[in-house]
């Protein structure tokens, strides 16, 4: 009973945090709200919840190159970081996309996850993408696909096996990861400002509590009452932008070329995150690997940022990606 009370208190506190971060972003007309690991940590500790920031890997275990430019779009300079194991040899890569309702957050929030995955043998790459009005669909997904091509073009420099590049993300970043993973080879979502000769296809996808479909009755009703981050990202509510709601949904693109997928789901009432069971079922029907890990009731939405959830999550992601990588080898 006590554990349930703690879980409910944690979920309520983080729901308030998520809503306040989104409201701040809206009030600033798309400017980034201060959505950071430190702020999440402070909110939880203020609520009396025992959480902590993940610790770094041992010194010398990984190598880091940060703040590397991968694309310019007008005044927008998009950057990424590269963390890799210190040991030599081509390694599977995983791009990591931050959350924040497509309006806030930063790739710096995902450096802990990247470092942990690098210590597990992956080249882990947190990626920035355009936020707010500039990143409205399909802008952000164009950026992420460009980042995949950049990684392939620079595979030799950073010790990446170009035959295996995965993508992962949390919340809004989870949606983008699912969209990229589902849409391998879909020309309608391609934008090739650089390295157009390189493929943007990914070989595995991890969606950490991100939506896989938008045209859901509960989400439509919520956005009809008051337009939130979803409607801003899609340029309007369902009535105004019906075609875009489908076009921006990962579920729309599931096909034989889609990537094997791993979903983590908190299944709380807020935020509304539809489509994951349906997407997993469609992938499985096509003979593709698709797994869903349902988190215990009361698990907060941005759980992946903090302990005690962080280390088990890293273990599960690493196990899934390693299995998918090994399956590609003779």
**Which pLDDT tens digit goes with each residue over 61-100?**
999 999 999 999 999 999 999 999 998 889 999 999 999 9
Residue 60 CA neighbour count, 13 Å, CB half = 0
Is residue 272 within 8 A of residue 266, CB to CB? The reply is no
Which one-letter DSSP state was computed for residue 304?
Answer: G
What domain range includes position 42? 2-327
**In this structure, what token pair is assigned to residue 275?**
């489509």
pLDDT tier for residue 330 given thresholds of 50, 70 and 90 = confident
CATH number of domain containing 44: 3.40.50.1820
pLDDT tens readout for residues 219-241 = 999 999 999 999 999 999 999 99
Q: Structural domain tally of the chain? A: 1
265 has which bridge partners? Answer: 294
What is the CA 14 to chain-centroid distance, rounded? Answer: 18
The two beta strands, 76-85 and 123-127, are: antiparallel
Mean pLDDT, residues 259-281 taken together = 96
Q: State the Cα–Cα distance between residues 222 and 302, nearest whole angstrom.
A: 21
Residue 19 has pLDDT above 90, yes or no: no
Residues in the chain: 330
Report the b/e string of 269-307 with b at 16+ CB within 10 A: eebbbbbbeebbebbeeeebbbebeebeebbbbbbbbbb
């Amino acid at each position: 009973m006590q554990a349930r009370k703690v879980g409910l208190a944690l979920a309520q506190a983080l729901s308030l945090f998520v809503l306040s971060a989104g409201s701040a972003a809206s009030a600033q007309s798309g400017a980034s709200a201060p959505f950071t690991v430190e702020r999440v940590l402070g909110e939880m500790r203020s609520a009396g919840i025992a959480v902590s920031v993940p610790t770094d890997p041992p010194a010398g275990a990984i190598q880091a190159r940060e703040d590397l430019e991968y694309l310019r779009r007008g005044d927008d300079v998009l950057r990424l970081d590269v963390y890799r194991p210190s040991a030599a040899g081509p390694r599977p890569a995983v791009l990591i996309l931050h959350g924040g309702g497509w309006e806030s957050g930063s790739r710096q929030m995902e450096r802990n996850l990247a470092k942990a995955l690098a210590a597990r043998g992956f080249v882990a790459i947190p990626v920035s993408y355009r936020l707010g009005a500039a990143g409205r669909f399909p802008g952000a997904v164009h950026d992420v696909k460009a980042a995949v091509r950049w990684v392939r073009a620079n595979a030799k420099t950073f010790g990446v096996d170009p035959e295996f590049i995965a993508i992962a993300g949390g919340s809004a970043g989870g949606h983008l990861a699912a969209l990229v993973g589902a849409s391998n080879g879909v020309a309608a979502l391609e934008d090739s400002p650089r390295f157009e000769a390189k493929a943007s296809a990914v070989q595995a996808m991890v969606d950490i509590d991100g939506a896989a479909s938008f045209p859901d009755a509960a989400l439509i009703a919520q956005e009809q009452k008051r337009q939130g981050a979803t409607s801003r990202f899609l340029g309007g509510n369902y009535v105004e932008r019906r075609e875009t709601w489908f076009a921006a949904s990962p579920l729309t693109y599931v096909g034989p070329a889609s990537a094997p997928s791993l979903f983590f789901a908190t299944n709380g009432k807020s935020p509304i995150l539809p489509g994951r069971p349906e997407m997993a079922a469609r992938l499985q029907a096509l003979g593709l690997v698709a797994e869903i890990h349902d988190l215990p009731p009361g698990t907060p939405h941005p759980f992946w940022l903090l302990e005690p959830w962080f280390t088990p999550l890293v273990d599960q992601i690493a196990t899934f990606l390693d299995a998918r990588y090994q399956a590609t080898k003779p």
